[in-house]
């Protein structure tokens, strides 16, 4: 088991946003957390990322284990090194005053797998997102919202890490591009990348993931394989448009 969230209870001040949720991600899996607005998806990710207060929700009970070790005492930068996160849309973790190419290259700084692997991933990103290739010299802050989203996912790929957390990567992308992006992420998964995907678009998420959890107002309501969830009458009614 790569990541295990155990009975996590989380508060913002006096307001409890997660009421004791548990889920896990095995190495090599694509797991999705789906849920409506305000369900607690972002709160879950922020808790995992161990952001310092006051931005971060406070964990009041439970634990988060990475490879069996509690990460509650970790600093965010250590978590980022291990579990690369692609945050969207508020903080896409791109550097606005740098060009597209500079952002992609910067994401590789901690890699140790050599130039060949980096060049291969760069090729992959630029062919996945030809728009990034066209805009490689453009300052990132002047990209459109959807283009910044592509760059954020591109950066996540360029880190070469083996586990990424994706927060609504589909947001702002036109459908064709979104499917293309999920296809590429699937290929990366087949090559060994483990993915935790947070999505409001349950249909897209369940077509992409192996397993999923349904989060509803701070609680896990149901879980199962993507196939099971797709055919679950409650899930169909509430999240898949009947
Ligand atoms: P969305 O899909 O709309 O982004 P979400 O599932 O990511 O929703 P969260 O952002 O995790 O939901 O919010 C969960 C709950 O916590 C909501 O009721 C929200 O109002 C509350 N919440 C989030 N951030 C804060 C904060 N900084 N202070 C107080 N309450 C917060």
User: Does residue 201 have its Cβ closer than 6 Å to ligand 1?
Assistant: no
Q: Is the pLDDT of residue 214 over 60?
A: yes
Neighbours of 186 (CB within 10 A): 16
Residue 238: which residues within 8 A CB-CB, separation 6 or more?
36
Task: Assess whether pLDDT exceeds 80 at residue 84.
Answer: no
12 lines ligand 1 (CB under 6 A): yes
Residue 72 lies in a domain: yes
Asked if residue 107 belongs to a domain, the reply is no
> Which ligand 1 atom sits nearest the alpha carbon of residue 200?
2
Asked if residue 41 belongs to a domain, the reply is yes
Query: Does 209 fall in a domain?
Result: yes
| Domain-located, residue 122 | no
Instruction: Find, among 60, 5, 41, the residue nearest to 218 by Cα.
Output: 41
Contact 158, 150 (CB under 8 A): no
Residue 91 lies in a domain: no
CATH of the domain at 38: 3.40.50.300
pLDDT value of residue 90: 47
pLDDT for 85-141, tens place per residue?
A: 655 444 556 788 999 999 999 989 878 888 999 999 999 899 888 889 999 999 999
ipTM of the complex: 0.95
User: What spacing in Å lies between the alpha carbon of 190 and ligand 1's midpoint?
Assistant: 33
Tokens of residue 22, six digits: 């548990």
State the distance from the centre of ligand 1 to the C-alpha of 56, rounded, in angstroms: 11
Domains identified in the chain, total number: 1
Task: Check: CB of residue 33 under 8 Å from CB of residue 234.
Answer: no
**By residue range, what is the domain housing residue 51?**
3-84+162-240
What pLDDT is attached to residue 87? Answer: 53
pTM, entire model: 0.88
100 in a domain, yes or no? no
Nearest CA to ligand 1 atom 19: 38
Point out the ligand 1 atom lying closest to the alpha carbon of residue 35: 6
Q: Is 110:159 a contact under the CB 8 Å cutoff?
A: yes
> Rounded to an integer, what distance in angstroms lies between the CA atom of residue 90 and that of residue 160?
23
């Amino acid at each position: 088991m790569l990541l295990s969230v155990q009975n996590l209870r989380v508060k913002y001040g006096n307001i409890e946003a997660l009421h004791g949720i548990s889920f896990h991600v095995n190495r090599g899996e694509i797991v999705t957390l789906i849920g409506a607005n305000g369900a607690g998806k972002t709160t879950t990710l922020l808790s995992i990322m161990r952001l310092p207060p006051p931005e971060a929700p406070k964990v009041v009970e439970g634990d988060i284990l990475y490879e069996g070790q509690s990460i509650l005492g970790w600093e965010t930068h250590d978590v980022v090194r291990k579990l690369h996160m692609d945050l969207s849309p508020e903080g896409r973790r791109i550097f606005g005053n740098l060009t597209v190419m500079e952002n992609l290259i910067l994401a590789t700084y901690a890699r140790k797998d050599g130039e060949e692997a980096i060049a291969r991933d760069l090729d992959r990103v630029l062919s996945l997102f030809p728009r990034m290739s066209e805009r490689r010299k453009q300052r990132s802050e002047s990209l459109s919202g959807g283009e910044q989203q592509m760059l954020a996912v591109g950066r996540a790929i360029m880190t070469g890490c083996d586990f990424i957390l994706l927060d609504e990567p589909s947001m702002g992308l036109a459908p064709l591009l979104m499917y293309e992006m999920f296809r590429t992420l699937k290929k990366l998964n087949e090559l060994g990348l483990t993915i935790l995907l947070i999505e409001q678009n349950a249909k897209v998420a369940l077509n992409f993931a192996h397993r999923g959890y349904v989060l509803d107002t701070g609680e896990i309501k149901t879980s199962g394989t993507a196939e099971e969830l797709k055919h679950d009458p409650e899930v169909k009614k509430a999240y898949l448009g009947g």
